[in-house]
Chain A
Amino acid sequence: MTRLPRWADLVLVPLISLALAFAISALVILSIGQNPIEALKVMVTGALGSSYGWGYTLYYATNFIFTGLAVAVAAHAGLFNIGAEGQASLGGLGVALVALSLPWPHWGIALPAAMIGAALFGALWAFIPAILQAKRGSHIVITTIMFNFLAAALLNWLLVNVLRPVGSMDPASAAFPATTQLPHLTDMAAAVGIEWGRNTPANISFLIALAACGLVWLLIWRTPLGYEIRAFGRSERAALYAGIRPTRIIVIAMMISGGLAGLMAINNVMGEAGRLLLNSAEGAGFIGIAVALMGRNHPVGIVLAALLFGFLYQGGAELALWTAIPRELIVVIQALVILLTGALDNMVRMPLARLFGAR
């Protein structure tokens, strides 16, 4: 098997996969009698053509960066964390409890506390599947899927029976105090005299997500713990030989993963909604799997992939708004991107490798 040069593996393969996904999507759009060029134009102008579009794209991307990092950290330890969705929901619960528990004087104090709450709840939700895997050998894929359902049921119950303010018809928590409202990127731009992205939910969490990327990079490639996580993920026996304890690595990697997924809640729950809603994660946990796959579990790749999916989300919403293309088709396009960049990426890699080998 001839191997691909690194740049081709990192750049060419995803780009070709993406082009293929778009080409097939174009055919699908054609087949329902719509104009694919027009559709692409709507998506691009809607998501990237204005600071308003960018504001939404970045907001979605922030979610996906957190969940993508979460899936990636687990993947480095050889663990497939499908539970980012549930962990992100629990993170939302952590944020809500922190925000509602004290009369926070300023968001600058509330934010670190909310981050701790979010990460802690997400990490704890990942801890149980981790310990089951480490001690009992229950497969993490199965348990994390189950924990997604448990998280949904738990939040449903809590929002209906416990957190719902008296007299409210909504299965949602009370609104957080106005002092916990995070600064939006619009406000931050305005502070330096730039008018940017009015009425969009993009907020300071985006910068925190980028910082998290840096920290994850440091963790995985620069710390002894990251070394152990990667060694364990690649070869369990070599890890044992090196004195790396499997239980410890499984638990720590999963808790970091869950914590990162939980952190997403500062963006959607604290930054945007300002209260805890039912189904707050809105599938971002699953998108995180695709983002990590496409980003090759590397923070830089994850940011790029998260931006792509942010674009697809926002562009898709615009498409539904301005064209006769039905909403479902947008899901189809997103699914094609996931399929081609994630699951089928060998389909592109193999012929490409042959091409390179033949030279």
Chain B
Amino acid sequence: MALPGTQATAPPAIELRGISKAFGPVQANRDISLVVPAGTIHGIVGENGAGKSTLMSILYGFYRPDAGQILVGRRDAGITDSQSAIRAGIGMVFQHFKLVPNFTVVENVILGAEDGALLAPSVSRARKELRRLAAEYQLDVNPDAVVETLSVGHQQRVEILKALYRQADILILDEPTGVLTPAEADHLFRILKGLRDRGKTVILITHKLREIMEITDNTSVMRRGEMVATVPTRETSPEQLAELMVGRKVLLRVDKAQAAPGTPILELSGLRMVDRAGVERLRGIDLTVRAGEILGIAGVSGNGQTQLLDILGGYPEAGAQVTGTARLAGRTLPLSGTDARARRHAGIGNIPEDRQAEGLVMDFSAWENTVLGRHRDAGTALMDNDAIRSRAAAQMERFDVRPRDPELAAKNFSGGNQQKIVVAREIESRPILLLVGQPTRGVDIGAIEFIHRRLIELRDAGAAILLVSVELDEIMALSDRIAVMFDGCIMGERLPDATSAAELGLLMAGASPSGIPPEQGQPDPDEREPAKGVI
């Protein structure tokens, strides 16, 4: 019954037999069979669009398969909708949480699972149960905290609690670490191990092979809608998994030539930003990015990186006060009273951190999205939609966007392919400065390799690139210089060869660089503009 390599003794928690699902012409899942032994953590990897989320949505009753059978504990689970999936003991933690922001944790947990018409007894019973679950699984969240005041990591724990409260034995997590800080991710893994040790079964979808190696017992690999392998994790390696996923050898690190930095393209001095609530988010940022180099900004998310990118992109949050000076290719860049269009005209490209909310209009087709922000560039009264369509098709070809269908709405592409649409648009606009926020969040390793290579090509063609990422590996691999941001300040700059993850980690945590002046690592401090006072 069990696949080769899985412990034949453990009874399966879940068995899928011959699952198929098509969306129009796209065969998202093709005849998939999978056995997940109880009490294990089972990783699922695969390229963007391989069909992982679709398969999990079928398991959770969100989609009906065209063919196939789902067995839970050897019995046909009869999953027709999410309710029956929950009854069968399956819980799901979505990447985009489905919580009511202004409800408390308890209220969110019992939502839809209230017993009886009166709320009060449910609430007090739930609170007690939550305390127990939280203690048992290290899920410490205050049951009475309002969800919107919680950090992303804590909100995710609420989602897990929700599933456990509904007595889930099988927990599905779809790319849970994409939104977490490294520390939060570590905590999540401790929680997942705790769940496994108490006999629960966990299915984990991730693009990070490091996570697969660290925590899973078995790993399944999907490729183009099919299940190509299931292996015990300790008998495999990241290289082997990568090859199985992509069908060819993948370079797990980027090759790049030495940068040849030219003239300064972006010069920031004394950049400050106070948000509407009066909180100072940026406290005097001085930065220079030169033509032909990548400046990586490392840091735990929420330390002002988003604000920095938004200001440079031309859309600081409403009511924010921005001061300081910015110059682009020697010309003063106005910091207020401007918009994203003016920024694009000045030659700034922007790959935003949140592609779904900002980089794409999800209801628009792919081809319409390829001109987002540049829809007026043709300067004609009517848009030449046929030309845009055919250019979009060619662009999708060059960036290997799958499926290659310009008419498909952006929301129907898998996450990584959505990102490729954005990256293609921004890189091919030939910017002199490219702002890049979390370029590979939720993107598969093949596509990461591809996007990294394109960014380096752009750099070699003479563009300046400002890269913000919470992935230290990515920062180390791509950057020619690294600046570390903490609490709205640049803590210091380092050269990637002359630093270590440990040192950067210290800077990211706000430890002041002992005795090292912050200028160290700047290629040519003398050429920098003298810092101007704050206006």
Contacts and interface: CB of A to CB of B under 8 A. Distances in A.
13 contacts: A222-B383, A227-B368, A227-B375, A228-B375, A231-B361, A231-B364, A234-B364, A235-B363, A237-B357, A237-B358, A238-B359, A241-B340, A242-B375
A179 interface: no
Interface string B378-406: 00011101000000000000000000000
A357 B64 contact: yes
A234 B363 CA distance: 7
B359 A241 contact: yes
Interface string A220-236: 01111001101100110
B391 to A, nearest CB: 15
A358 interface: yes
B383 A224 contact: yes
B223 interface: no
A215 to B, nearest CB: 12
Contact of A238 (B343, B344, B361, B382): B361
Contacts of A230: 361, 364
A34 B15 CA distance: 61
B194 to A, nearest CB: 34
Contact of B341 (A218, A223, A231, A243): A243
Contacts of B382: 218, 222-223
Q: How large is the interface on B (under 10, 10 to 19, 20 to 34, 35 or more residues)?
A: 20 to 34
B116 to A, nearest CB: 28
Contacts of A1: 62
B64 A241 contact: no
B462 interface: no
Top 5 A-B pairs, shortest CB-CB distance? A243-B341, A243-B340, A242-B373, A241-B358, A234-B363
Given A222-B383, A241-B315, 7 more contacts: A223-B381, A224-B375, A238-B360, A238-B362, A239-B361, A243-B339, A243-B340
B91 interface: no
A238 B340 CA distance: 11
Contacts of A237: 354, 357-358
B340 A242 contact: yes
A15 interface: no
A218 B340 CA distance: 26
B453 to A, nearest CB: 25
Contacts of B376: 224
A218 B381 CA distance: 10
Contacts of B368: 227
A245 interface: yes
A228 B363 CA distance: 13
B372 to A, nearest CB: 5
A2 B359 contact: no
A188 interface: no
A229 B376 CA distance: 13
Contacts of A218: 382
Contacts of B372: 231, 238, 241-242
Contacts of A238: 357-362, 372
Given A2-B63, A243-B373, A223 B383 contact: yes
B417 interface: no
A332 interface: no
A240 interface: yes
Q: Which of B350, B354, B368, B373 has the most CB of A within 10 A?
A: B373
Contacts of A2: 63-64
Nearest to A245: B339
B362 A241 contact: no
Interface string B289-318: 000000000000000000000000111000
Contacts of A244: 341
Best-surrounded residue of A2, A227, A234 (most CB of chain B within 10 A)? A227
Nearest to B340: A243
Among B368, B371, B375, chain A packs the most CB atoms within 10 A around the CB of B375
Contacts of A241: 313, 315, 340, 350, 352, 358-359, 372-373
Contacts of B340: 240-243
A218 B383 CA distance: 10
A18 B155 CA distance: 44
Most buried by A among B62, B339, B354, B361: B361
A96 B3 CA distance: 82
B342 interface: yes
A228 B383 CA distance: 12
B317 to A, nearest CB: 10
Interface string B233-270: 00000000000000000000000000000000000000
B344 A243 contact: yes
Contacts of A231: 361, 364, 372, 375
Contact of B362 (A221, A228, A235, A242): A235
Contacts of B385: 221-222
Contacts of B364: 230-231, 234
A246 to B, nearest CB: 9
A235 B64 contact: no
A244 B344 CA distance: 12
B357 A235 contact: yes
Interface string A241-272: 11111000000000000000000000000000
Nearest to A238: B361
B477 to A, nearest CB: 27
Contacts of A235: 357, 361-363
A228 B385 CA distance: 15
Nearest to A219: B382
A238 B361 CA distance: 6
A237 B315 CA distance: 10
A356 to B, nearest CB: 11
Contacts of B362: 234-235, 238
Q: A218, A240, A241: which has the most chain B beta carbons within 10 Å?
A: A241
A355 to B, nearest CB: 12
A132 B170 CA distance: 51
**Interface-central residue, A218, A224, A238, by most chain B CB under 10 Å:** A238
A235 B372 CA distance: 12
Nearest to B341: A243
Interface in A124-144: none
